[in-house]
Copies of this chain bind each other. A is one copy, B any other.
């Protein structure tokens, strides 16, 4: 199994760099950090044109730059997670917001969730079809209702009443996603089991200058999904989790992430103080999930700003930036 270990050595070096700022008498500032993903799955270098690869690297870098700039300016991790995910929701490269895939019925049904680690408050929406930025609807659920998860038409009416930007469902129609649905339908008619596309999702975890962690996840679901299926992305504990010490956003075959409460479990394994975040994430993604046959990955941060990016698929669109360090983006396993 791949552990992207060389990659993670880089993270550590950067994290250490980020924490070393106080030695020369500067006023002590908490480290700040941002880690993002744009989905995991069958993502292989040989299937990419140079243009397509550059487009993804550019989009990831832009999202990191935006979020890191906000963090440097003192923005809260919650604001940064929302802002970064809104940007990725607007980019048709990613399966979230504008670039959402189609359900079997030819619709776009969007899910998202967000959690504030400092307060452990959380919100999510499932199956919305007219909300331009589902992550903002998730945040509105967190901040303006007593609920954690709203679904379907009720969630939509709530978002509209809160003044969020609503769009015609046509807004989410993109040629490439429609072709994906056509391919999935063809394949389904040839095979008994439909094979899903790469697990498209976007996510962000941020640690701000006040030491607060937040995490969020947004998705357009699975191509050709049926029956009002809800995956892990809107579910706190499965696709998203944050507390005072840890934040996680997941992407992958959502059913496995629900059954093993993946995002929560990674944070829970830190409680004893015996494991690092990387060890905890490794146990869950390569141990629990991998042994059960579940495919996907996670991004995570601890309260020292150490980014962890682990997946058991061929690739994961991903990146991180610690404090004022260089943004690092990657796509393939050995990237």
Contacts and interface: CB of A to CB of B under 8 A. Distances in A.
Nearest to A255: B148
Contact of A147 (B127, B149, B227): B227
Interface in A102-143: 115, 120-122, 126-127
Interface stretch (A7-15, A151-159, A169-177, A301-309): A151-159
Interface stretch (A32-40, A206-214, A229-237): A229-237
Interface residues of A, number: 43
A230 B150 contact: yes
The majority secondary structure among interface residues of chain A is: mixed
A226 interface: yes
A268 interface: yes
Contact of A230 (B145, B149, B255): B149
B146 A193 contact: yes
A166 to B, nearest CB: 15
Given A230-B126, A230-B149, A237 B261 contact: yes
A149 B264 contact: no
A238 B241 CA distance: 13
Given A264-B237, A264-B264, A265-B264, A227 B259 contact: no
Contact of A148 (B120, B158, B226, B258): B258
A258 B236 contact: yes
Interface in A213-262: 225-231, 235-238, 241, 254-255, 258-261
Contact of A150 (B146, B153, B229): B229
Nearest to A104: B154
Contact of A235 (B150, B155, B235): B235
A6 interface: no
A149 B258 contact: yes
Contact of A122 (B149, B153, B227, B258): B258
A120 B151 contact: no
Interface in A254-295: 254-255, 258-261, 264-265, 268, 272, 292
